[in-house]
Amino acid sequence: MGSVIVDDPVVRRTGATSVGSSILRIEDGPLVVGKGHFLDDIAVPDVLHVAVVRSTVAHATIASIDTSAARSVDGVHAILTLDDLRPVLATPRMPLAASPTGGPNKHTPFVLARDEVAYVGEPVVLVVARSPYIAEDAAAHVAIDYQPLDVVSDPRDGLLPGAPMVRRELTNNVFDDQIVGYGDVTAAFAAAKHIVADELFQHRGLGSPIEGRGVVAQPNVTDGSLRVWSSTQMPNELFNMLVETLGLEDSLVRVTCPDLGGGFGTKYLVYPEELAIPAAALLLGRSLKWVEDRRESFVSAVQERDQFWTLEMAVDADARILGIRGRLVHDQGAYVPRAVTIPYNAARTLLGPYLVPAYELRVVVALSNKVPVATIRGAGYPQGCFAMERMLDLVAVRLGIDRVELRSRNLIPASKMPYTKPLRERSGATIVYDSGDYPATQAEALETADWQHFRARQAEALAAGRYIGIGIANIVKGSGRGPFESGTVRVSASGQVSVFTGAVAMGQGLATALAQIVSDELGVAPDQVRVIAGDTAGAPLGFGGFASRQMVTAGSSVHLAAKAVAAKARRVASHLLEVAEDQLEFRDGSVGVIGGSGSVSLGELARKLRGAPGFAFPAGVEPGLSATINWLTESLTYANAAHVAEVEVDVDLCQVTLRRYVAVHDSGKIVNPMIAKGQVIGGIVHGIGNALFERMGFDETGQPLTTSFAEYLLPTATDLPLFEVSFRESPSTLNPIGVKGIGENGTIPVAAAIASAVEDALSPLGVRLSCTPVTPEALFDAIAAAREAALRQAQDGTHQRL
């Protein structure tokens, strides 16, 4: 445990034994030459195009919908409201399967709004035309008479007595209110030597994938079947909801996810459009296509947060944590499109890799008249990490203790691993940190960043009028959420080795990693393995891409399926070659005698296992050279990381410049170091956006203020430093390949580490940072407030001396 993986040179591997090697990604060839097949590239005959008419107000009743002017536009085929779709819909709103609550369904979105709209961007009408341009033009002529209702823009206002309801069907604006915690918090605070308190805020942000959402629906009027392509992370969930909503037999529906231009959680749910457009296709008997434009993405794709924290931390005389308590108000938006996870992930993540004897957090999930909230990369973990690390820095400042020393005193030592946290996951499973050495991960990050010599450089810079700072943050991330992911490995008569899985390729190198796993079992080159992901025809069971789960779950299933295929191939080859199984090896797509010339190809074995009339199979061998495994898991495996950020702050322009960024990650066994490094760097860049640039703004009437990338800023190449990424390995014992998730881990500690560094840079001014993003405006206010406080303190001291 704890071995360090250095950067592995990229190799063009064509043989076997590839796990652990940085082979080139096998899926990149078509993409880099422009031959990818994304949603908008799907071409079906005689397709009509759809534009969605969306609410322009945050809360109102719908008095009437006048479509006469829109219908008169040349090229318009149909204009459809919810009432028009009712003949093919089993329910007017998203099924209860998308809701975490039982009983009456009052929280999932409607397929189309009918009587009331609850946020700007809510879909109301579908306009179907022969081109997307005609559909958009006609949509502008749909006249909806809105009767405005009171708006809840700040979720905290919606909790006050007498507050208006976010939707008329509600009796209050609280979706959920519960306590997360354990231990005797009251006693912990009574015994504390020091107590610190703060109010923290984390912004509402977007996933911002390069490719927006989109749907193509192709009905077959002959047999009543329905083919749907969707830019989604959840093809199997969409399949299930289409079957339920449209009342179709399973065998009549197929959902395929084409090449995906990013997801980042934005596509981790089924949207109203994904049900409305297939329903319209069935109703009209025509193929339909809808592709989201960027403004639609801003006003209708799910967002994440805002979160408002009020926290207290109690420590003893040695600055060891005794307890944490407080309240979290989470803005859920107008609806609950799927099970609420973000605030509870945040509440559990706050504990991080630290020893916390007592904990009590009241979590209030509040509704507002804004875009619904679901998971974006990190899914609550960045917020919990930010809260904990900011509180630790506050303790360090108040007590005059080095920030690293404070963390070292409170990190869970390696001797306590595996370590059980007195909390449970949503599944009911106990939270057990399965492996890792958190102090060693932090120590490696500090050594790489040269933390011990930074103070001398900082003093030298300050003497020259420059404000530089350094910050650190630690995380633990649960990954591999079950209950399973499907994996089928199949060898055809041609010798082609194929993998089918319900996992979804989102640009993270899934095909390469799964091919590497199969390569090591069957002795074929990874680039000769065909991976089909995200198609319900090949994988009728599955869950998709989210929660840093796919290598743990799909990787384990594919690994076990490949082993099963290998065992079968070895057994049949032994029969054909008349050699003992332990004398056989896999090489170059064949099973051959070790040290000998006799061999039989995998294709030949597959042909034999197709069977022939009158010819018997070897004893105990079933037909076909394939295996399907749905590896089950109830426990998460926990990755960890330590990040160190170095910044420079221009106190006049209130501009933050990242000078250096160091990240040390432990994600168990690394299948492909190059891909893993890319995942970490991509996550860090996402986190830099969260820390310094991104914020989805709304005014008091619920109108969005940031509806393009001119107002909603993302980091660009010139905003980024060179990243120094390394890995430690503590293989998990909870899955057969020893891996842990990595896709979200890079994002989680970034805002906390950068805020720590900026605050450190501005420590001569006494600045405290409790919010993200740290924009120039926020910095200006913080610096001004600190200077004003210092001036008041100086004046008070003068008065006292007088």
Predicted confidence at residue 617, as pLDDT, reads: 79
| 625 and 665 together in one domain | no
Predicted confidence at residue 482, as pLDDT, reads: 85
Residue 766 lies in a domain: yes
Q: What one-character-per-residue DSSP string does 234-258 give?
A: -HHHHHHHHHHHHT--GGGEEEE--
Question: Does the global pTM surpass 0.85?
Answer: yes
* pLDDT lower than 50: segments of the chain: 1-7, 9-16, 98-103, 802
| 651 and 800 together in one domain | yes
Residue 279 lies in a domain: no
| 472 and 529 together in one domain | no
Residue 352 lies in a domain: no
For residue 78, count other CB atoms closer than 10 A to its CB: 18
Domain boundary (577, 597, 632) is at: 632
| 616 and 656 together in one domain | no
| 508 and 466 together in one domain | no
**Residue owning tokens 């691993």:** 417
HEC string for 502-542 = CCCCCCCCHHHHHHHHHHHHHCCCHHHEEEEECECCCCCCC
Encoded amino acid at 491, one letter? V
* Number of structural domains the chain divides into: 2
Residue pair 755/390 in contact (Cβ under 8 Å)? The answer is yes
- The CATH number of residue 25's host domain is 3.30.365.10
Predicted confidence at residue 546, as pLDDT, reads: 83
Residue 425 lies in a domain: yes
Alpha helices in 320-437 (DSSP H): 342-349, 381-399, 403-410
CA separation (Å) from 714 to 6, 280, 302, 587? 30, 36, 17, 48
For residue 72, count other CB atoms closer than 10 A to its CB: 10
Distance, CA of 328 to CA of 106 (rounded, Å): 23
Q: What one-character-per-residue DSSP string does 554-623 give?
A: HHHHHHHHHHHHHHHHHHHHHHHHT--GGGEEEETTEEEETTSS-EEEHHHHHHHTT--TT-PPPTT--S
Residue 496 lies in a domain: yes
For residue 162, count other CB atoms closer than 10 A to its CB: 4
CA separation (Å) from 4 to 647, 666, 670? 27, 9, 11
Q: Is the peptide bond before 483 cis (omega within 30 degrees of 0)?
A: yes
Taking the mean position of all CA atoms in its chain, how far away is CA 179? 25
Phi-psi bin for 773: left (phi > 0), alpha (psi -120 to 50), beta? Answer: beta
Domain boundary (632, 654, 674) is at: 632
Predicted confidence at residue 11, as pLDDT, reads: 41
Distance, CA of 70 to CA of 140 (rounded, Å): 8
Domain boundary (599, 617, 632) is at: 632
Residue 511 lies in a domain: yes
Taking the mean position of all CA atoms in its chain, how far away is CA 291? 22
Length of the chain: 802
| 605 and 539 together in one domain | yes
Residue pair 485/620 in contact (Cβ under 8 Å)? The answer is no
Distance, CA of 544 to CA of 557 (rounded, Å): 14
Tell me which residue range forms the domain holding 444. 411-477+637-802
Residue 711 lies in a domain: yes
CA-nearest of 785, 784, 781 to 773 is 781
Residue 16 lies in a domain: yes
Helix (H) or strand (E) holding 28: helix 28-32
Encoded amino acid at 266, one letter? T
Distance, CA of 726 to CA of 5 (rounded, Å): 7
| 701 and 682 together in one domain | yes
| 561 and 500 together in one domain | yes
| 487 and 612 together in one domain | yes
| 534 and 645 together in one domain | no
| 618 and 684 together in one domain | no
| 574 and 686 together in one domain | no
CB contact set of 268 (below 8 Å; sequence gap of 6+): 233, 234, 338, 374, 375, 544, 545, 546
Helix (H) or strand (E) holding 326: strand 321-331
